[in-house]
Amino acid sequence: MIKKNFWKLEYSITLFVLLGVFMLLVPVKFENYFQAGLISKWNDKYNKVSYMFTVINAQATDAILKSFAEAKTPEQREKLLLQLIKPYLRIQYSEKLSKRYKPKYMNGSKVHKNDIYKFNELYFSDNGRQIVGIKDIVKRDGNLPWFMMMFDINGILPPNTWGKDIFGIYIYNEGKIRPFGYGEQMENLVKDCSEDGTGVYCSYYYRIGGEFND
């Protein structure tokens, strides 16, 4: 009788240990699977946006180019770009979006209003499933980018974090685009695309096959 009870106790302990290990592993596995899905969506979005700007550039008329040259404020140029990309990304404007949408960096810090990666002009895209941000860059010299765009490929849903579900691109003359972090050394990419970094460079890091940290 004692041996039988001892076997039951030993069996129960083993079962609880296995259950505990399973409960510890499941969230990690789920998080990895979830993040892998977001990275796949980002790469797909980048390819589609790259093709979109190729088409836009091929169809650009002298009147469109002239309107950009004559625009005197960042707001005017942002509106011009918005009109060009709106049909492709199915963009919808929401006054409340900018107020309730609070993105953050991968290290947990907030994106402040004066940060370069703060986007004031935000729009719903893809029937509300995603969020798009547009930001004009004043300088038009040489090979510098003209605009910045951000994509929250998970929309209003969390985590709303750079490098997890938020990624970005630079837009150059003639519709050429590059992801944030392009041209950076691998050491800088790995450091920034981690829990100690901003996550902004993940936009390029994941494009070249970089892996997220478990």
Q: Report pLDDT for 9.
A: 46
Contact 163, 202 (CB under 8 A): yes
Q: How much is the pLDDT for 213?
A: 55
Q: How many residues does the chain have?
A: 214
CA distance 23 to 29: 10
In the chain, the DSSP E strands lie at 92-93, 121-125, 130-136, 147-152, 166-171, 177-179
How far apart are the C-alpha atoms of 46 and 37, rounded to whole Å?
A: 14
Average confidence (pLDDT) per 10 residues, the chain, 214 residues: 49 50 44 85 96 92 86 92 94 81 96 93 92 86 86 95 97 92 96 96 95 58
- Residue 142 has a pLDDT of 64
pLDDT at 183: 94
- pTM of the full predicted structure? 0.83
CA pair distance 52, 81, nearest whole angstrom: 12
Strand partners, 131: 124, 152
